[in-house]
Structures are given as C-alpha cells and as structure tokens.
Chains A and B, each alone.
Chain A
Amino acid sequence: DSGVTQTPKHLITATGQRVTLRCSPRSGDLSVYWYQQSLDQGLQFLIHYYNGEERAKGNILERFSAQQFPDLHSELNLSSLELGDSALYFCASSVVLGLRGSGYTFGSGTRLTVV
C-alpha cells in the first residue's frame, strides 16, 4: 500500500456520461498530480494541484476538470465521455511542490472503461 488511495478501482460507463475519480494523497502530502495511461498515448500528465491551488496543466481536455479540497483530497471529473477516454487514471502525491525528496508516490489507479 503506497498510502495514496484512489477510488473506484474500476469504472464502466457509457459514452456521453460524466464520472468522478477520487484521490486521497498520503498523509502530509500537499501536492496531487493526475496522469492518464492509455495504450496509444502512454503516460500523460494531466494536472497538478498544490495545497488547493492549480499549479500546472498538461494534456488535459476541456471536458476534464479537477479540484483539490481543503482536506487535500482531489477529484478528477470527466464529462461527455468518449470511447477514447478509456484508460487508467493515476493519482500521485508528494509532500512538497516539485520533486524534491522521494519524488511522486502513485496510487494504484482507476481503470475507466467507456462503452
């Protein structure tokens, strides 16, 4: 157990629907990162939050949004889902801004299947 908790582990939904993926970082970690892992795109950085504030955006679609709450957990919202959004979505956390120390700690991911 890495200490980063992602729920749900698996999610099957239909095209056009909206889903919310949840991430609880390790205790004490202020940074939360979201990554998407798909067969064709590999591991792609989506977005980073630090202590509730958005810090960096990567290849995140406009249909996707995220937030980090005061208790530091984060949610990734995916809307108007398409078949191509099927992927493994990872959350990672770190105690500081940036990658000093041990780097990221990844959760075990949420596997999203859009049918």
Chain B
Amino acid sequence: AQSVTQPDIHITVSEGASLELRCNYSYGATPYLFWYVQSPGQGLQLLLKYFSGDTLVQGIKGFEAEFKRSQSSFNLRKPSVHWSDAAEYFCASTSNFGNEKLTFGTGTRLTIIP
C-alpha cells in the first residue's frame, strides 16, 4: 500500500530564512506527488505537483519541490520565507491518473518567527 511520510511534525524558521520540508513516499512505481498548504480555518490549496518530466517543479508562492527517485523523496523548498507562509503543509501522492484517491502525509506545521 502507498504511504507518505512527513518526518517533521513542526518546524520553526525565522522570517527570511530558507525552508525545506521533507516528504518521503512509499510506492513501487513512480507516484504522482503533490504539496498542499492549509491555513487555519481554510481548505487545502495546491502548491505544486509532479507527474513526470523535469524533477524540479515550480509552484505558487515561490515554492519549489524536487523529486528524487533514488531517495523516494519529494521535498518542498522556499529560499526565503515570509510570515504569511505560516501554515500546515501536506505532501500527498497517488499511484496513477486512474486512482482517484490521494494518500496524505500527516502534515508539517510551519511557524515563522520574526
């Protein structure tokens, strides 16, 4: 069965510092990978997705993620965080376009300090 692991429950970074949120997936073939962000009281907003091709994908709000098959990882990065980036971040995967179910990680809560 598929699984997605986000090893960091909570991360605190200073405003302006760089950010990397970790995500590892477990699936035999190439999964389709997503990062979502959830602000308090809000739904989930898609930041970026990886289906195939270039392993470095760009998303909204200045985020990017890199797919590394050898490490089964899809880490999310941002070079300089802003206070508005404080939120919960979820990595998710599905096995193929026909599989409608997204498997989510447990999320990483990001706190930004001045």
Question: How many residues belonging to B are interface residues under a CB distance threshold of 8 Å?
Answer: 25
Q: Give, as a whole number of angstroms, the nearest-CB distance from B107 to chain A.
A: 7
Who on chain B is nearest to A108 by CB? Answer: B43
How far apart sit A97 and B98, CA to CA, in the bound complex (Å)? 7
Known contacts: A42-B106, A42-B107. The answer to whether A99 contacts B100 by CB under 8 A is yes
**Contact between B97 and A99 (Cβ–Cβ < 8 Å)?**
yes
Number of interface residues of A (CB under 8 A): 27
Say yes or no: is B44 at the interface (Cβ < 8 Å to chain A): yes
Residue of A nearest to B48 (CB): A103
CB pair B44–A48 under 8 Å, yes or no, is: no
B84 at the interface (CB under 8 A from A): no
Q: What is the CA–CA distance of A108 and B32 in the complex, to the nearest angstrom?
A: 24
B84 to chain A, nearest CB (A): 18
Supposing A42-B106, A103-B49 touch, asked if A97 and B43 sit within 8 A by C-beta, the answer is no
Q: In whole angstroms, what is the CA distance A2 to B38 when docked?
A: 13
Name the interface residues of A26-78: CB closer than 8 Å to any CB of B. 31, 33, 35, 42-43, 45, 48, 50, 55-56, 58
Name B76-114 residues within 8 Å CB distance of A: 90, 92, 94, 96-107
Residue numbers of A with Cβ under 8 A of B are: 2, 4, 31, 33, 35, 42-43, 45, 48, 50, 55-56, 58, 90, 92, 97-100, 102-109
30 CB < 8 A contacts A-B: A2-B43, A2-B45, A33-B102, A42-B104, A42-B107, A43-B92, A43-B107, A45-B101, A45-B102, A48-B100, A50-B100, A55-B100, A56-B100, A56-B101, A58-B101, A90-B44, A92-B44, A97-B98, A97-B100, A98-B96, A99-B97, A99-B100, A100-B97, A102-B46, A102-B49, A103-B46, A103-B49, A104-B102, A108-B43, A109-B43
